[in-house]
Chains A and B, each alone.
Chain A
Amino acid sequence: MAHNPQLNARGELQHLLSIEGLPREILVQILDTAESFAGVTEREVKKVPLMRGKSVFNLFFEASTRTRTTFEIAAKRLSADVINLNVAVSSQSKGESLLDTVANLSAMQADVFVVRHASSGAPYLITRHVKAHEHVINAGDGRHAHPTQGLLDLYTIRHYKKDFTRLTVGIVGDVLHSRVARSLIHGLTTLGVPEVRVIGPQTLMPAGVEALGVRVFHDMRAGMKDCDVVVMLRLQNERMTGPLLPSAQEFFKNYGLTADKLALARPDAIVMHPGPMNRGVEIDSPVADGPHSVILPQVTFGIAVRMAVMSIVAGN
């Protein structure tokens, strides 16, 4: 296989495309850097000058408000200039190709491209065509990866659980279509989590998922037993009825996180969700708002993690 396109010749992070293939040291460096930024976000003046004069282009080929906003906030707190391009409704609809769009923006002197695209692998294609000083950060590509989400999940888990090497983590729901699940699984296995479980019906499990280093559970109650961390995945509306699932209600009955199912996990288990949540589909409201939930802190940590990623790649 070809050279890992994320790393430069010195083995440093040049682009962030996927958590897969990143050495443990780089993951730890990102989490440590994020921790150092956590204080910044609580100060009155929430800015550091690390990326002053640098331009960050938010290049979203697929609609997103939340992720784009957190990248924008993170870039601004690093004092970078941020340009938001909602490409989904501009040049692509005029027939401009992905690479032409990137070439045009590159001519406007970008330093960092934050890319979201509906097709798995699109950021890899972009990476092969940017200039040497430009950096690409994957903000979600198809079903493949959402590495900054994975990193903020790792940050959250480390924040509450400290040590990865004794944990049991259960990831519940639509693993088949989830880039969040793929990124988190790679991160957890790289950081030495001994038991990563994926929990869901056969129709929502990708072929050969065990090869990623996970145990598969179809019975949620069995899968929840002794979990330290429970990660609920979002179920897209269009997948709630059809050949994969009969209804949202039946999904909730079998795989929705309720207080009684959560009771099977460890008493100090934390509950995570990448958002936006479907209450009553993946998760019951009392659990989402309950004492085990760390769903809102995840959002806060997400800013520090994205600051860390941007400052690290831009500094390499």
Chain B
Amino acid sequence: MNLLIKGGRVVDPASGRDEVGDVYVADGKISGKKEKADQTIDAKGLVVAPGLIDLAARLREPGQEYKATLESEMDAAVAGGVTSLACPPDTHPPLDEPGLVDMLRRRAKALSRARVYPVGALTVKLAGERLTEMSVLADAGCVAFSQANVPITDTQVLWRAMQYAATFGFPVWLRAEDRWLAGDGVAHDGEVATRLGLPGIPAFAESIALAVALHLVRATGTRTHFCRLSTAAAVDMIRAAKREGLPVSCDVAIHHVHLCELDLGYYDSSCRLEPPLRSQRDREALAAGLADGTIDCAVSDHTPVDDNQKQLPFAEAEPGATGLELLLPLALKWGAARKLPLARTLARVTSDAARVLGVRSGRIEAGAPADLVLFDPLEIWRVVPAALRSQGKNTPFMGYELAGRVRTTIVAGNVVWQV
């Protein structure tokens, strides 16, 4: 089926193109020439951009279907304009064997909404002891290997895991956190945690683990992506590592460029996040690092949590926030606050994420997959539970009014979402 998307503001972050025009789609790909269209979509007044690529979205399958199902979360993805997503391996059981990965991919494919890229477990059961069968998992469809939020404490194992992954050219995705220093902490170790009497996680729990990992990158040459930076120190370290030429990239959760420890207010458990919201200075460094490209991309870190697990005292509440449907408006809000051109703003959730993931989508050019989002950049909507398709209604942005409303989402040339 051929599509004509007519008269929209076409923004291609990869090339910097930003102009009103038409986009032709043929055989699931962007077409370089005018094709006879079976269907025409009027995009007047809308932005036509590559579909969002989210490097961290928990779909809660297998194992935690009471929190969310693949159906609900894949709906949330396309409703948020997300056409590709990587899901971390911290499912129950973790994605540490090919059967689970295969099942997840089949289930996702059958729903024919967003593309799902599983990230395999780096160690068996994420226990940080034995390596998984990485090449078997890669055959099953894993695009990278990760420990999700369960860092390896044994540095010998981390070293060997990175060496082994490097042998086959597999990327390793790590969240830098020293588990001993993080201890039982639930908030940034600073004034707010002190006032609220919450056990703290010092900022150097991140920078120390990052320093260790960067030494191992230097030693092993492993292509390494650092997930969910939360501190100014880490941004500086990544900037230096990139200057040195190390094969590293990194991301930040979109809520970390907007919120800080002060948002905990009176123990707002929707702000119970991993890593924790840190100081205003950290937030500023993250927002600036994302703008100057030190931080490659922003992710939703989508984590649906049911109400029962959030209606608890702060430290006992389950960490995480729903985010697939907020990634676009929150990225736009960040870009607007920093006065960035729209193409540069969108690059952080499209083409730059595609580069990390190693996929051809995330751009509007002839031959690229026709994964597109059409959105109204000015339409303001209010974040209320009923406005979210995700089963998780847990977000610190509840009640916010945000600009940027998705109208149409297209994956491989098929309209998968339209309002």
Contact = CB atoms under 8 A, between A and B. Distances in A.
Interface of A: 1-2, 5, 20, 97-99, 117, 119-122, 124-125, 141-145, 179, 182, 206-209, 211-212
Given A2-B266, A211-B191, A206 B200 contact: yes
Interface stretch (B77-85, B230-238, B305-313, B336-344): B305-313
Contacts of A143: 197-199
Given A121-B267, A212-B195, A207 B200 contact: yes
B196 interface: yes
Closest 7 A/B residue pairs (Cβ): A144-B197, A121-B267, A119-B313, A143-B197, A120-B197, A206-B194, A208-B191
A120 B194 contact: no
B189 interface: yes
B267 A125 contact: yes
A141 B313 CA distance: 10
A99 B312 CA distance: 8
A124 B193 contact: no
B262 interface: yes
Given A2-B266, A125-B311, A142-B315, A120 B190 contact: no
Given A1-B262, A207-B189, A98 B194 contact: no
A214 to B, nearest CB: 11
B129 to A, nearest CB: 24
A117 B200 CA distance: 19
Given A1-B266, A120-B197, A143-B197, 18 more contacts: A1-B262, A1-B265, A97-B308, A97-B311, A97-B312, A98-B313, A119-B314, A120-B196, A120-B314, A121-B197, A125-B267, A125-B312, A142-B313, A143-B199, A144-B196, A179-B197, A182-B197, A207-B200
Given A99-B311, A119-B315, A124 B197 contact: no
Contact of B195 (A97, A99, A117, A182): A182
B200 A121 contact: no
Nearest to B266: A124
A68 B313 CA distance: 21
Contacts of B193: 206-207
Instruction: Identify the interface centre among A97, A117, A144, A182: most chain B CB within 10 Å of its CB.
Output: A144
B304 interface: no
B26 to A, nearest CB: 53
A179 B198 CA distance: 11
Contacts of B198: 120-121, 142-144
Contacts of B269: 125
6 contacts: A1-B262, A2-B266, A119-B316, A144-B198, A207-B189, A207-B202
A207 B191 contact: yes
B31 to A, nearest CB: 52
Nearest to B268: A2
Contact of B267 (A124, A206, A212): A124
Nearest to A177: B197
A108 B228 CA distance: 47
Contacts of A117: 313
B191 A98 contact: no
Contact of A121 (B189, B190, B202, B266): B266
Nearest to B194: A206
A83 B313 CA distance: 24
B197 A145 contact: yes
A173 B191 CA distance: 19
Interface string B187-226: 0011101111111101000000000000000000000000
Contacts of B316: 119
Given A208-B194, A211-B191, A122 B313 contact: yes
Contacts, number: 77
Contacts of A142: 197-198, 313, 315
Contact of B194 (A5, A97, A145, A212): A212
Contacts of A206: 193-194, 200
Given A179-B197, A206-B193, A207-B193, A98 B312 contact: yes
B315 A120 contact: yes
Contacts of B265: 1-2
Interface string B299-326: 0000000001001111110000000000
A142 B313 CA distance: 10
A232 B252 CA distance: 44
Interface in B230-266: 262, 265-266
A125 B266 CA distance: 9
Contacts of A20: 195
Instruction: Identify the interface centre among B195, B200, B308: most chain A CB within 10 Å of its CB.
Output: B195
Contacts of A122: 313
B194 A121 contact: no
Contacts of B311: 97, 99, 125
A209 B190 CA distance: 8
B194 to A, nearest CB: 4
A142 B190 CA distance: 17
Interface in B268-313: 269, 308, 311-313
A240 to B, nearest CB: 18
Nearest to A1: B265
A69 to B, nearest CB: 24
A125 B190 CA distance: 22
Contacts of B196: 120-121, 144
B195 A121 contact: no
A255 to B, nearest CB: 20
B358 to A, nearest CB: 40
A211 B194 CA distance: 9
A118 to B, nearest CB: 9
A141 B200 CA distance: 16
A182 B312 CA distance: 23
A208 B315 contact: no
Interface string B350-383: 0000000000000000000000000000000000
Contacts of B312: 97-98, 119, 125
Contacts of A1: 262, 265-266
B197 A208 contact: no
Instruction: Identify the interface centre among B265, B267, B269, B308: most chain A CB within 10 Å of its CB.
Output: B267
Contacts of B197: 120-121, 141-145, 179, 182
A138 B338 CA distance: 43
Instruction: Identify the interface centre among B191, B197, B202, B266: most chain A CB within 10 Å of its CB.
Output: B197
